[in-house]
Structure 1
Amino acid sequence: MAHSSPTPPSSSVLPIAVIGGGITGLAAAWKLTQLGHRVRLFEASPRLGGVIRSERTPEGWLIESGPNSFQENSRETADLLTQLGLASEILPTSPAAKKRFLVRRSRLHAAPMSPPGLLTTPIFTPLGKLRLLRDLFTRSFDRETDLSLATVIREHFGREFLDYAFNPFVSGVYAGDPEKLSARYSFPSLWVAEQTHGSLIRGLIAQSRDRRRRGHPKTRLLSFRDGLQTLPDTLARSLPPGSTSLSTRVETLTPPFALGAPWRVTFRHILPASVSEFPSTSVASSSDLVTENFSAVILALPAHSLAKLVFTTNDHRALTDRPLASLAEVVHPPVSSLFLGFRREQIAHPLDGFGALVPALEKRKLLGALFSSSLFPNRAPEGHVALTALAGGTRQPEIARLSTDRLLAEILPDLRQLLGITGDPIFLRHNFWPQAIPQYDLGHERFLAAMETCEHTYARLYIGGQTRNGISVPACLEAGLALADRAIR
């Protein structure tokens, strides 16, 4: 295979390589260009945005294939949306979506959102409610090592709260198992709350007050008029022409061999030429290997892609190294989502909330369902409603892998019983994610250590994203901004 002639190794004028075109890579590339640096963004798939995908059909359904919303919970995220000119496109959640429903004994109950609600909710028994309040008087726990989320929640709130509130909540966030997830890394705010206050309730309240004192905006749940994909699309359109290569697989990385030497990135275009809607992107038809020089490299890739990266010596000898190979062991359970459209009269439930989550003890095939058309306006045609049903995860991974017809047959009975649905959906879209969400399980620190060691081994290499910095959209956005800052320092 032919190699292009490398550009001169003058780091001061070379661009920065950003590998990975999800929301982290896009945010890093955007920040770098805003600060006057040249960037080359590489993405192996034919589109940007990673798991964020929105589609509006001619009939008027708006389908979110990945995340359905995100929390604006920091000044960095709020400022970014303003700088991107998206203020007029923002949609806060509808007032009708304030309730969150939990299932107990095959019935939906609104989760308590206030102390009076906690006293009256049928979700918890009187003894369970007293056990919750006992946390307020907890002073300290002497933690020498990390523990599972389930262990920490049981110690503070008791088994009933774990089983009927936290278990379904974790399924909704991670599609994971609180018995396996790390308390320290999967929900760091809980870990810090315990370390600083003993009581989780008092610690979280103190964190909220501290955020307000430091000028952080009040947390709100958002999307955009045309769906969440508006965010990566806007970032992509802001990049300079020709700075992004789609359907381009990075084959090897060659670290600097001397002080001031460049990084060398060798890549291959893996699809025929095509037309992109973004002027910043290009897809070449050549299948030859191409090598280019860069002043620094940012890796904004999922764990399984990081694990495959090959680092070579300067003369491209056959001897190769995969310093991040251990990240292949990060668990990513499969998840399927079914976007289901119904006529309004087909569903008896008022759908007056965000959605419903199902505890594992309820023994159902459904992880939960979002009331998509209640969350934001214009998600369904007039006179219709939309649900997004989720299945699989670590709880029942085999269900996520079913065909569309079989998956619908498995979960529709649960939806009929819980929501009072009659008839079949008049619209359906199945999205399957074979490796959906990285699990921050016990022992996650070894993966963090592998990434830190790799950065220390190779100068001007920066790693971030979902496996390292958090799984939420804001966490990935802020990881990208931070990577850009580190690269130019």
Structure 2
Amino acid sequence: MTDHDQTGTPSDAAPLDTIVIGGGISGLTTAWGLARAGKRIALIEAAPRAGGVIGTLREDGWQTETGPNTLMVKAPLYALLADLGLTEEAILADQRAARRYVVSQGQMVALPSGPVSALTSPLMRPVWPWLLREPWIAPAKGEETVAGFVSRRLGPAMLRSFVDPFVSGIFGGDPARLSVQAAFPRLAALESGHGSILRGALAKMVTKPAPSPFPRPPKGWRSVIASFPKGLQTLPERLADRLADHAEVMLDTPVSRIARVGDLWQVEAKGQIREARQLVLAVPAKAAAALLEPLDAEIAALLNQIVYAPMASLALGFAPGTVAHPLDAFGVLLPRPEGRRTLGALFPSTLFAGRAPEGGKLISAFIGGRLDPGAVTLSDDELTGIAMRELGDLLGLSAPPVWRHVRRWPEAIPQYEIGHLDRIAAIAAREELMPGLTLTGNWRGGISMTDCVTNGLTLAAQLAERP
């Protein structure tokens, strides 16, 4: 790029160490880690608030999440909560969250939660013969779909009753397209490293865990589900507030152009140009592609190939006495072979206090995904009708909801499908050709909030070590 290409006004401020574009959880945690390391940082976010897809709605006594619904606490996330002073504010899910239901032959059946229930569960009866022979099934060669991997090693019943609904609930994805190596690398590693899932699992039980830069959470905080009294939006709000004490936080500031000039990266936003030695793009794949296309059409094309599954989420509030089921679980998953469009439902008023008025019940349903992309084009009434028909008999819904909120996400969840790892490797190779540039987000390294926190803090530590 040459000087005459500039359209903004250069800032008089000295170049920063790092500019982070994107104020979702990936960008926030990366910027926080760098600021805590003493680096001079600016975080730029196009939206008027930080948090990206994370959002909490409070209305008429109901409280619902408009994006991700819960946090799974792992060591990096606990370290972040402690650093932000949020461990005292966090609330842990009700113990009933340990139970999960899945629909089988039109009935809700509790998933096995341990060895004893696995022995007696009707869902496991057709699976046991496969489990007994699993250690002697030869490993496959090359990349494999989730459906192919599970069917080959654990049988069609495991795929239908356990994996298909799990994949739909987590990824909104198609197990016949998702790559097991990309979407579930730990599961694939059990086979590649030990020749068997069961042998690998047993080996892990007796193997000392690899050292972690994050201290182990205290007892009672390990692998628990958490939120906050005012919802998950508390986390990005606290991050943005605390980050503003150490760095520039620029909200409602869309970036129009990035460029590499000499040894610095230039970022133009609202007619002003800021410079930094390092640039982090913590945005969705297509947003990163749009910014990078003038600099490298090849990396932009690779980013645009990443597919996102659409999703409609419905928060349905029911009056006292209109839900017969006790909702005594985290939620229910609906396998595709059951012939229902609803992928699953969570029971927020069971998980956490303060999600519904006294006696009310809040149910969050999800419709759409990779196999039903047209669902997001349906009206609120059409989506509500589907949820009522498909959950009504299961949960004993005797009246329509007295409150609802519908949110559509045309590109909700990145799909780690066959070829994803090769694509990420090609993107990484193009990154190397642009010194100081790093791309991050839930399209690489894991889709959950916990994954994004882990990746953000890890990336910050790596960038802080660069000269």
| TM-score, length basis structure 2 | 0.92
Residue identity matched to 1:299: L
SS of the residue corresponding to residue 243 of structure 2 reads coil
Q: C-alpha displacement at 1:140, in angstroms?
A: 5.0
Instruction: Give, in whole Å, the separation in 1 of the partners of 2:204 and 2:28.
Output: 30
Q: C-alpha displacement at 1:220, in angstroms?
A: 1.3
SS of the residue corresponding to residue 406 of structure 2 reads strand
Query: Which of residues 227, 232, 242 is equivalent to 1:238?
Result: 242
User: Could you tell me which residue of structure 1 aligns to residue 67 of structure 2?
Assistant: 66
Q: C-alpha displacement at 1:55, in angstroms?
A: 2.0
Instruction: Give, in whole Å, the separation in 1 of the partners of 2:90 and 2:365.
Output: 24
Q: C-alpha displacement at 1:150, in angstroms?
A: 0.8
User: Could you tell me which residue of structure 2 aligns to residue 325 of structure 1?
Assistant: 301
Unaligned runs of 5+ in 2: 1-5
8 Å CA contact retained: 1:365, 1:410: yes
8 Å CA contact retained: 1:332, 1:437: yes
User: Could you tell me which residue of structure 1 aligns to residue 282 of structure 2?
Assistant: 300
Query: Which of residues 289, 307, 313 is equivalent to 1:337?
Result: 313
Instruction: Give, in whole Å, the separation in 2 of the partners of 1:127 and 1:367.
Output: 23
Instruction: Give, in whole Å, the separation in 2 of the partners of 1:473 and 1:92.
Output: 16
8 Å CA contact retained: 1:336, 1:401: no
1:355 aligns to 2:337 (yes or no): no
Instruction: Give, in whole Å, the separation in 2 of the partners of 1:128 and 1:321.
Output: 48
Query: Which of residues 187, 195, 212 is equivalent to 2:192?
Result: 195
Q: C-alpha displacement at 1:435, in angstroms?
A: 0.2
Unaligned runs of 5+ in 1: 269-288, 314-319
Instruction: Give, in whole Å, the separation in 2 of the partners of 1:406 and 1:108.
Output: 24
Task: Summarize the Cα distance change of 1:421–1:44 in structure 2 as closer, same or farther, 3 Å threshold.
Answer: same
User: Could you tell me which residue of structure 1 aligns to residue 123 of structure 2?
Assistant: 123
User: Could you tell me which residue of structure 2 aligns to residue 273 of structure 1?
Assistant: none
8 Å CA contact retained: 1:308, 1:322: no
What does 1:256-405 correspond to in 2, within 5 Å? 256-257=261-262, 261-268=263-270, 289-310=271-292, 321=297, 323-405=299-381
Deviations 1:232-285 (A, max 9, x none): 11100011367122222222221243xxx21111223xxxxxxxxxxxxxxxxx
User: Could you tell me which residue of structure 2 aligns to residue 34 of structure 1?
Assistant: 36
8 Å CA contact retained: 1:298, 1:483: no
User: Could you tell me which residue of structure 2 aligns to residue 223 of structure 1?
Assistant: 227
Q: C-alpha displacement at 1:204, in angstroms?
A: 3.5
Instruction: Give, in whole Å, the separation in 2 of the partners of 1:451 and 1:485.
Output: 21
Instruction: Give, in whole Å, the separation in 2 of the partners of 1:197 and 1:176.
Output: 27
Instruction: Give, in whole Å, the separation in 1 of the partners of 2:438 and 2:92.
Output: 34
Residue identity matched to 2:260: P
Q: C-alpha displacement at 1:213, in angstroms?
A: 7.7
Sequence identity percentage? 36
Query: Which of residues 160, 168, 193 is equivalent to 2:165?
Result: 168
Instruction: Give, in whole Å, the separation in 1 of the partners of 2:184 and 2:355.
Output: 31
SS of the residue corresponding to residue 361 of structure 2 reads strand
SS of the residue corresponding to residue 238 of structure 1 reads helix
Instruction: Give, in whole Å, the separation in 1 of the partners of 2:268 and 2:208.
Output: 44
Instruction: Give, in whole Å, the separation in 1 of the partners of 2:202 and 2:272.
Output: 54
8 Å CA contact retained: 2:34, 2:460: yes
User: Could you tell me which residue of structure 1 aligns to residue 3 of structure 2?
Assistant: none
User: Could you tell me which residue of structure 2 aligns to residue 159 of structure 1?
Assistant: 156
Q: C-alpha displacement at 1:210, in angstroms?
A: 4.7
Residue identity matched to 1:326: L
Task: Summarize the Cα distance change of 1:223–1:208 in structure 2 as closer, same or farther, 3 Å threshold.
Answer: farther
8 Å CA contact retained: 2:349, 2:361: yes
Instruction: Give, in whole Å, the separation in 2 of the partners of 1:23 and 1:296.
Output: 19
User: Could you tell me which residue of structure 2 aligns to residue 79 of structure 1?
Assistant: 79
8 Å CA contact retained: 2:309, 2:413: yes
8 Å CA contact retained: 1:334, 1:434: yes
Deviations 1:152-198 (A, max 9, x none): 11111100110111000000100001110001010011011112222
Instruction: Give, in whole Å, the separation in 1 of the partners of 2:202 and 2:313.
Output: 34
8 Å CA contact retained: 1:24, 1:300: yes
Instruction: Give, in whole Å, the separation in 1 of the partners of 2:81 and 2:346.
Output: 25
Residue identity matched to 2:32: W
Q: Which moved more, 1:336-345 or 1:211-220?
A: 211-220
What does 1:131-146 correspond to in 2, within 5 Å? 131-135=130-134, 137-138=135-136, 141=139, 143-146=140-143
SS of the residue corresponding to residue 380 of structure 1 reads coil
Residue identity matched to 1:375: L
User: Could you tell me which residue of structure 2 aligns to residue 431 of structure 1?
Assistant: 407
Instruction: Give, in whole Å, the separation in 2 of the partners of 1:403 and 1:422.
Output: 22
8 Å CA contact retained: 2:22, 2:281: yes
Instruction: Give, in whole Å, the separation in 2 of the partners of 1:334 and 1:104.
Output: 25
8 Å CA contact retained: 2:293, 2:300: no
8 Å CA contact retained: 1:181, 1:441: yes
Q: C-alpha displacement at 1:402, in angstroms?
A: 0.8
8 Å CA contact retained: 2:65, 2:232: yes
Instruction: Give, in whole Å, the separation in 1 of the partners of 2:132 and 2:379.
Output: 45
User: Could you tell me which residue of structure 2 aligns to residue 106 of structure 1?
Assistant: 106
User: Could you tell me which residue of structure 2 aligns to residue 286 of structure 1?
Assistant: none
Structure 1 vs Structure 2 CA RMSD: 2.1
SS of the residue corresponding to residue 444 of structure 2 reads helix
What does 1:409-428 correspond to in 2, within 5 Å? 409-428=385-404
